[in-house]
Structure 1
Amino acid sequence: MTAYLNPRETYLAASVSTASPQQLLVMLYERLTLDLQRASEALRNGEPSKAHEPLLHAQEIVLELNASLDLKAWDGASGLASLYDYLHSELVKANIGKNLRITDFCLNIVSTLRDTWRDAAMGMIAESA
């Protein structure tokens, strides 16, 4: 029996399967940013229970980013690994305490990283064209 995906799931699966490593990294950062925005909004609206899942997913993404980091690929990798460790620790604190200040602090860091990686990926695409 073949399982059929809805059109959105089909599109997402195709996007991920055809994405370059740089595009996958940007996709992860975009989802991480979205999770933190959702958690922040829930906390800001006085709905801490709705912040749990996005904060948990954000923690999982940061762990995946850290696990996939090649520490020998470039000089700054160990610094980025330390930043990922710190972010994960802060996200755990934010989730346990349902802390808006920590969530927004992490969102600020992640947004900056996302923008940086997006710019780098666009630069690589432009160079190869």
Structure 2
Amino acid sequence: MYDARTRYVTAAVETAAPARVVTMLFDRLLLDVDRGHAALEQGDVLGGRSHLQHAQDIVAELMASLDAASWEGGPGLMAVYAYLYSTLVEAGVQGDAGKVLECRSIVEPLATTWHEAAALAAAAAPAAPAPAAAGLLGVG
């Protein structure tokens, strides 16, 4: 059964704007990469693999949601995602913390860029109209 945190996260993702969902995915991807690296550094290969598998799932979702043909940079971004995915797989299979750091060096600037793009998109979006005043606390 789902706990309250899981229900909250599910609702947050389901109601978030697309740009926000991408930033949430990148935030979690960074967390998984960091946790995977820490586990491998501590000799916990199984724990590291678990975090890296979740990171792979996120990258697979990013790849599936990317329409590479819709913009000029799409094929290049898809190639970056494919490289990241394969390197995460290699890192998990080999228990290679160095490869995990290489992945982090790719993910971090992408995450920063997506956060900046999401902020720009939010700033450019028209504000929702305020509801008409209907009395005290909008009732009446």
Whether these two folds match at TM > 0.5 is yes
1:66 aligns with 2:58: no
- 1 or 2 for the larger relative contact order (CA 8 Å, sep ≥6)? 1
Return 5+ residue gaps in structure 2 as ranges. 128-140
Runs of 4+ in 1 over 6 A off after TM superposition: none
Q: In 2, Cα distance between the equivalents of 1:17 and 1:89?
A: 28
Deviation by residue 1:2-26 (Cα, 9 ceiling, x = unmatched): x6x4321221122011101101111
Letter in 1 for 2:15: T
1:106 aligns with 2:106: no
Q: In 1, Cα distance between the equivalents of 2:84 and 2:122?
A: 29
SS in 2 for 1:22: helix
Q: TM-score, normalised by structure 2?
A: 0.85
Displacement of 1:127 after TM fit?
Answer: 1.2
Aligned residue pairs, count: 126
Q: In 1, Cα distance between the equivalents of 2:52 and 2:28?
A: 11
Displacement of 1:28 after TM fit?
Answer: 0.9
Q: TM-score, normalised by structure 1?
A: 0.92
Deviation by residue 1:98-125 (Cα, 9 ceiling, x = unmatched): 0010001101211111111011001110
Give the one of 38, 42, 51 matched to 2:39.
42
Residue in 1 that maps onto 2:23:
26
Deviation by residue 1:61-90 (Cα, 9 ceiling, x = unmatched): 111111111112210000000111111111
Give the one of 120, 123, 140 matched to 1:123.
120
SS in 2 for 1:46: coil
Overall identity of the aligned pairs, in %: 40
Which structure's CA Rg is the greater one? 2
Calculate the aligned-residue CA RMSD, in Å. 1.2
Residue in 2 that maps onto 1:16:
13
